[in-house]
Every structure is written in structure tokens, then in C-alpha cells.
Amino acid sequence: MDWVKFLVSAVVGLIAVAGSLEMPKADLWVMFAVLSTVIGYCAKIYFTFQQNMATYQNLITQSMYDKQLDSGRGTLLHLCDDVIQQEDLDRQCEELIRDEFGQNCNFDVDDAVDKLEKLGIVCRDTIGRYYCVGLKRANEIIGMTTEELVLKAKQGSGSA
């Protein structure tokens, strides 16, 4: 729509200037005023269009950022919280069954540990004890977040 405004105002301005040139006594100041008005209006439309494009790109970037909050490091934090909640729930369920029915049971947490082992975030030592890799290595395993990719691209384009 902005391009239509831009083109229509340019055409109308050119017609007005051409019409004033055909007059027997064309005043240069009138032509200058009409032409500068048309050029000013075209510039306003152009810069408004550029501002709308920048706003739209920022909106898209913000939307993508919001959608990617649970990726990368956020996912690792979410996994840690889930493991803590799962262990607490596991303990409470075991206590409930022991208190209500007098039976001991052990809920399976091995599945979660197996998945973390497959990712390489949790490992076992030679005597079977679990240990986790450092945060930096865990982030490398999970991969680069969308935010980091955008920042890297901005830094690359800024130095070029």
C-alpha cells in the first residue's frame, strides 16, 4: 500500500509540474513549490515504509525469540527442574504406598537417567557412580540457541 501511495504522489506531482510548464507564464517559484512538496511527500512515504519494515522485522524477531525460550539452556534448566520434581513426586508416592498399604516400592527413575546418558549429559564412572558433565559441555551437547545464532549473525554483518 505504501508503494501505491508513493507512485501515485510521484505521478500526480509530475503531472502538476508538466501542466504548469505548459502555461504561457510559468512561474518558477510555483513549480519549485509544487515539485518540492511532491518530493517531500514522496520522502515521507519512503521513510514511513522503511520504519514499518523495521518495526515488522523487530516484531518477527521478538516472536521467534519468544517461541524459542524453551530451547538450548532453557531446556537444560527445564530438564533439571523436571528431574527434581520427579524425584520429589517419586519419594512422595513411595511414602504414600508404604504408609497406606505397608508395602515398600521403588518407582523407576532409570528411564530419565538413561535418556540423559544417551545425550551424554550424565555418565557413569568405573565403579558405577553417576556424574554429570560441566555446564559448558552440556550446552555444547544441546547446541546453540536461536538467540545466540541471531547475535552471531549480527556480529558477522556488523564487522563486514
Element (H, E) at 124: strand 122-124
Residues of the chain with pLDDT under 70: 1-2, 17, 20-26, 66-76, 78, 107-112, 144-146, 157-160
pTM for the full predicted model: 0.35
On whether the CB atoms of residues 45 and 9 are closer than 8 A, the answer is yes
Phi and psi based region of residue 68 (left: phi greater than 0; alpha: psi -120 to 50; beta: remaining)? alpha
On whether the CB atoms of residues 139 and 76 are closer than 8 A, the answer is yes
What integer pLDDT is reported at residue 49 of this predicted model? 84
Q: Which three cell numbers stand for residue 12?
A: 500526480
On whether the CB atoms of residues 9 and 41 are closer than 8 A, the answer is yes
What integer pLDDT is reported at residue 142 of this predicted model? 72
What integer pLDDT is reported at residue 5 of this predicted model? 73
